[in-house]
Chain A
Amino acid sequence: MLRFVVRRLLLLVPILLGLSILVFLWIRALPGGPAQALLGERSTPEAVAQIERQYGLDQPVHVQYWRFLKKSARFDFGDSTTSRRPVTEELGNRFPATVELALAAMLFSVVIGVPLGFIAAKRYGTAVDHASLIASLLGVSIPIFFLAILLKYIFAVELGLLPTVGRLSVLIDLEHPTGFYILDALIAADIEALWDAVKHLILPAVALGSIPLAIIARITRAAVLDVQNEDYVRTARAKGLAPGIVDRRHVLRNAMLPVTTIIGLQVGLLLSGAVLTEKVFAWPGMGSWLVDAIQDRNFPVLQGGILFLALVFVLVNLLVDLSYAVLNPRIRLS
């Protein structure tokens, strides 16, 4: 087990090195650079040259890369060209926002998706099963931004129940030692802030969670259908175990294996793929940050942000692999 973890961690080094080279070359292959993007209608060749000198972009690419590597090793990605602040600092503000949203979306999709899939399997072929199929098809096929605007229109504009933008009402003051607002509100024991942060999370989490919800429901249904025809389930039933206990101990636990894989993959996707949701809800996370950075040719942010996300993605997948061993002792990690 330990050897497995160490090997996977060592593998990180070539992965990150390779990726950093790809990212480094890719952004430099884009037409134009940060200077032109910053100056817009006002760019002149002299002004562009001056800014390129400031960011070291007038140096040969291998020199730039070596510098970047040296600095990255110290977790210093340079300064953002647009905000002029250290990339690491911005990362520290934005990453918790994205994680909080991704976890909330995941929570929503698991809490609704697993039971939905389970019921559909139990009521296989009935109207309930068909309804869940339709619901999950809808979940996958409605574009997130459309769903987001619809949800905001109903729950905020028409009903006035929930906020439409940001993580916290502007009239609430809250210290952010962790950057996870729910956690920060708990630490401060501020019920009002907690409730406000939760309200701000609901719509973005539902919009973002709609696709994983549908996928999880379908996978759960299929897995439960498989498992409940297994011999050990029949045996458990035959020896007179209560149906609830059979479902919980034997069916669900075994059916959770493929579902966990999907959840792991989805968390990775949610961390990097919340772009649209973050934009529409003005959620100050990683997705909207990186998309703006592409538009602005913000090289330091792109280099640092993408590398960091890759690291997180690999680590999340490692955690998923480890969780297999916990769920199913038959799996040996080696």
Chain B
Amino acid sequence: MGRMSFRILLALAALLLAVGAAGCGGDDEGSGGGDGGGTLVFGTSADPVVLDGSLVSDGESLRVIDQIYETLVSLKAGTTELAPGLAESWEISDNGLAYTFQLREGVEFHDGEPFNSEAVCTNFDRWYNFKGSFQNSSASYYWQTVFGGFKTPEEGSPDESFYASCEATDENTVVLNLSKPSSSILGALSLSAFSIASPKALEEFGADEGRVDEEGVFQPTGTFGTEHPIGTGPFKFESWERGDRLVLSRNDDYYGDKAALEQVIFRPIDDNAARLQALQSGEIQGFDLVEPQDIETIEGDESLQVLDRPAFNVGYVGFNQAIKPMDNIKVRQAIAYGLNRQEVVDEFYAGRGEVAKQFLPPEVTGYAPEVTEYEFDPERSRKLLEEAGLTLPVKITFWYPSDVSRPYMPDPKRNFEAFSASLKEAGFQIVPKTAPWSPDYLGQVDEGKAQVYLLGWTGDFGDPDNFIGTFFQTPQKAWGFENQAIFDKLDEAEAETDLDAREELYQDANRQIMNFLPGVPYVHTKPALAFQADVQGYEPSPVSLESFATVTLGGEGSEK
């Protein structure tokens, strides 16, 4: 062996030794204290956009916002049932236009400012007065969904607003006045978009400040949402290095049960396989958006655990009635009987799906106990098509997206293949069409270009209006129909403030919809989270409103 190669061998040996020595340091990043406290590192799929609930609608922003801020109305952990939040109780006036909230006393923001009725009204007025790009629905999507427009609408914003005013009648009483009754307001107020922020911090850190650039476009410049997000929640903002970590620390002055964890650190890891390996190596203690195919691996590892979220989504086959022959109810029925939904749900959802009978998930009020059902029956499909006076096979164009995995369709192509096989049996000839999910596919479907298509929806909050109201309350190009009876029924249900009457109206609407058959819902799925086995107390919520305040580390150390 020459001198040179010997030296290289020596160098390699040294490198290996160095790597070996590194291991002695141990690499578990999160540390569990004996008291269940310590630091928890959570792997996220991306950085938040900004930590200002009123200006975002993406899950990663909301996840962090939910720890820092609180809302007037909250949800009982793990459900869509309303519970007191920053408001202890509320009353609705008989005409459904005034909501009176009794606020919790003795609550302080992280900057020491008092929480009171004035703070609440400052927040509501701020949202109502949004200007410029804050009015884009990529920013204030939830305000627009719930309250409509703004005080001074920009070009393209909704004209009408249901928000009339906010009155601070005394220190701890707030009256919210609406211009039109809407029964979904209370549930909607549990949305992180209506998080109450410290008025002083909003002002001091320029939450609404911006400059109008040379093109006349409003560019926000404040640091409230990026460096100084201040709310009343169980965790306080500590620091944020984009692409690396976002650190929250326990709010020791919290009025309720204080968090056990001293710190929660969010670490962006956008690759699914990388998140799983980081969990296995102990660099993170939990992550969201587990792929169905990874569940077996995680369940097979006794140092890890899988947590289920209740189903809060729907996958459906949509029809565009503007493209013939979809306007014919017999054709729509024929497709419904021709889709082998049970097979698709059994085969492609790793045991995490159930066959959908209507567009609403069973957990949501207004779910109708009995609706017209369409069991797989290809014979019946053929008969229906013949009754419709069509020659078999009937040609339809069936769209499915590529480059996407959604909780309600982990692999759209496989759903498409199985569905088109069963539709062929039912007397159809399928012309396949596909495009990358966003923006191509969604754009084409929204524009009404797709005749039959795969799509779905994940709910924002536990209200039927958020599902069937979004789909069917107004005419939409994707569905291509005008059914005044359904539009009216949904308007009536939305305006009804008596909860029992409202539930019946929505049940009626669901029955009507399943007879009219604008599309065929086929699946509700349970998304999964993964954690180290010693992480206790995390309560998955159907609407992903989940708190780290109840989480403890160290397994048996979870007793309080």
Chain A residues proximal to chain B, CB less than 8 Å: 31-33, 35-47, 49-51, 53-56, 67, 79, 82-85, 90, 93-94, 97, 115, 118-119, 122, 128, 149, 152-153, 155-157, 159-171, 176, 195, 199, 202, 244, 247, 279-282, 284, 288, 292, 295, 297
Interface assignment of B384: CB less than 8 Å from any CB of chain A? no
How many Å from the CB of A188 to the closest CB on chain B?
15
Tell which of A32, A115, A166 touches B8, judged by Cβ atoms closer than 8 Å.
A115
B22 & A161 in contact (Cβ 8 Å cutoff): yes
**Stretch of B238-246, B331-339, B347-355, B544-552 on the interface side:** B238-246
Beyond A41-B455, A53-B155, A118-B4, is A31–B267 a contact (Cβ under 8 Å)? no
For the complex formed, measure the closest distance between the CB of A313 and the CB atoms of chain B, giving whole angstroms.
Answer: 23
Indicate if the CB atoms of B2 and A164 lie closer than 8 Å: no
Pairs A–B under 8 Å by Cβ, sample size 9: A35-B138, A41-B457, A118-B4, A162-B22, A162-B27, A199-B22, A280-B274, A284-B243, A295-B403
Q: Mark B238-256 against chain A: 1 for CB-CB distance below 8 A, else 0.
A: 0001111101000000000
State which of B31, B136, B218, B442 has its C-beta within 8 Å of the C-beta of A47.
Answer: B136
Q: In the complex, what's the smallest C-beta–C-beta distance from A148 to chain B, in angstroms?
A: 9
Contact pattern, B 423-444, Cβ under 8 Å of A = 1, otherwise 0? 0000000000001001110110
Residue in contact with A156 in the complex, picked from B25, B47, B241, B277, CB distance below 8 Å: B277
Cβ contacts under 8 Å, B156 to chain A: 46-47, 49-50, 53
**How far does the alpha carbon of A291 sit from the alpha carbon of B281 in the complex, in Å?**
27
Interface flag for B389 (CB, 8 Å): no
A166 touches B270 (CB 8 A): no
Select from chain A the residue with minimum beta-carbon distance to B8.
A115
* Contact (Cβ within 8 A) B439 A37: yes
Q: Residues of A contacting B362 with CB < 8 Å? A: none
Residues of A within 8 A of B440 (CB): 31-32
Contact assessment for A51 and B136 in the assembled complex, using a CB-CB cutoff below 8 Å: yes
If A47-B138, A93-B243, A168-B244 touch, does A122 touch B19 (CB 8 Å cutoff)?
A: no
Q: Inside 8 A of A155's CB, which chain B residues have their CB?
A: 19
8 Å CB contact of B438 from A37, A93, A169, A202? A37
Residues of A within 8 A of B439 (CB): 31-33, 35-37, 43, 297
By the criterion CB–CB under 8 Å, are B281 and A152 in contact? yes
Give A119 to B247 CA distance when docked, in angstroms.
50
Residues in B with CB closer than 8 Å to A47 are 136-138, 156
> Which chain A residues lie closer than 8 Å to B26 at the CB level?
160
With A160-B23, A170-B245 in contact, is A165–B138 under 8 Å at CB?
no
Q: Is the interface of B mostly helix, strand, loop or mixed?
A: mixed
Question: Is A163 in contact with B281, judged by CB distance below 8 angstroms?
Answer: yes
Please give the distance in Å from B229's CB to the nearest CB on chain A.
15
CB-CB nearest in chain A for B26: A160
Q: With A82-B49, A93-B243 in contact, do A39 and B138 touch (Cβ < 8 Å)?
A: yes
Q: Distance (Å) between the CB of A50 and the closest chain B CB?
A: 4
CB neighbours of B267 from chain A (8 A): 165-166, 170, 282
CB-based contact A50/B154 at 8 Å: yes
Q: What is the CA–CA distance of A20 and B278 in the complex, to the nearest angstrom?
A: 39
Tell me the minimal C-beta distance from A139 to chain B in angstroms: 16
B119-144 vs A, Cβ < 8 Å mask (1 yes, 0 no): 00000000000001101111001000
Question: Does B20 have its Cβ within 8 Å of any Cβ on chain A?
Answer: yes
Known: A36-B438, A40-B442, A79-B219. A281 touches B274 (CB 8 A): yes
B324 sits at the interface (CB 8 A): no
Binary flags per residue of B480-521, CB closer than 8 Å to A gives 1, else 0: 000000000000000000000000000000000000000000
Q: Are A157 and B138 in contact (CB under 8 A)?
A: no
Closest A residue, CB atoms, query B219: A79
A171, B270: Cβ atoms under 8 Å? no
User: Which chain A residue lies CB-closest to B41?
Assistant: A170
- The A/B interface has a contact count, at CB < 8 Å, of 187
In the complex, the answer to whether B50 meets A31 with C-beta atoms within 8 Å is no
The chain B residue sitting closest to A70, CB to CB, is: B214
| Cβ of A172 to closest chain B Cβ, rounded Å | 9
Q: Is the CB of A42 within 8 A of B141?
A: yes
Measured between C-beta atoms, what is the minimum distance from A27 to chain B in Å?
12
Q: Give bound CA distance, A119 to B12, whole Å.
A: 15
What per-residue 1/0 map shows which CB atoms of B271-298 lie under 8 Å from chain A?
1011001101111100000000000000
- Contact across chains for A280 and B27 when beta carbons are under 8 A apart: no
Minimum C-beta distance from B248 to chain A (A): 12
Chain B residues with CB under 8 Å of A292's CB are 270
> B5–A153 contact, CB under 8 A?
no
Are the C-beta atoms of A163 and B27 separated by less than 8 Å?
A: yes
Residues of B within 8 A of A43 (CB): 439, 442-443, 446
Q: Closest Cβ of chain A: how far from B296's Cβ, in Å?
A: 16
Taking A67-B215, A115-B8 as contacts, is the C-beta distance between A39 and B47 under 8 angstroms? no
Contacting pair B19 A202 (CB below 8 A): yes
User: Shortest CB–CB separation between residue A279 and chain B, in angstroms?
Assistant: 5
- Give complex CA distance A122, B274 in Å: 41
B1-43 residues with Cβ-Cβ distance < 8 A to A are 2-5, 8, 19-20, 22-23, 25-27, 29, 31, 39, 41, 43
Q: Which residues of B contact A79 (CB under 8 A)?
A: 219
The residues of A that contact B157 with a CB separation of less than 8 Å are 50
- Complex: A163 Cα to B280 Cα, angstroms: 11
B39, A50: Cβ atoms under 8 Å? Answer: no
A42 to B439, CA, bound (A): 11
Interface presence of B366 (CB below 8 A): no
Contacting residues, chain A, for B278 (C-beta < 8 A): 164-165, 282
How many angstroms between the C-alpha atoms of A244 and B155 in the bound complex? 78
Which chain B residues lie closer than 8 Å to A44 at the CB level?
A: 137, 446
CB distance from B493 to the nearest CB of A (A): 21
Chain B residues within an 8 Å CB radius of A149: 273, 277
What residues on B are CB-neighbors of A37 within 8 Å?
438-439
In the complex formed, the residue of B with least CB distance to A289 is: B243
Chain A CB within 8 A of B392 CB: no
Chain B residues within 8 Å of A169, by CB = 27, 29
Give the Cβ gap from A302 to chain B, nearest Cβ, in Å.
Answer: 14
CA of A39 to CA of B215 in the docked complex: distance in angstroms? 23
B220 within 8 A of A: yes
Does B528 interact with chain A (Cβ within 8 Å)? no
- Cβ of A166: which chain B residues have Cβ within 8 Å of it? 244, 267, 269, 283
In the bound complex, do residue A288 and residue B270 qualify as a contact, i.e. CB atoms below 8 Å apart?
A: yes
CB-CB under 8 A from B283, the residues of chain A are 156, 163-166
| Contact call A32/B217, Cβ cutoff below 8 A | no
A22 to B5, CA, bound (A): 49
Min Cβ gap A280→B in Å is: 5
Q: Do A36 and B277 form a contact, CB below 8 Å, given A51-B136, A170-B265, A282-B268?
A: no
Among the interface residues A35, A85, A119, A165, which one has the most CB atoms of the partner chain B within 10 A? A165
Residues of A within 8 A of B135 (CB): 50
User: Given contacts A50-B157, A281-B274, is CB(A119)–CB(B4) below 8 Å?
Assistant: yes
Contact of A50 (CB < 8 Å), options: B29, B136, B282: B136
The 7 closest A-B pairs by CB, nearest first: A32-B439, A284-B243, A36-B439, A161-B23, A50-B156, A282-B269, A47-B137
A280, B271: Cβ atoms under 8 Å? yes
Rounded to whole angstroms, the CA-CA distance of A195 and B244 in the bound complex is 18
CA separation between A44 and B43, bound complex, in Å?
A: 32
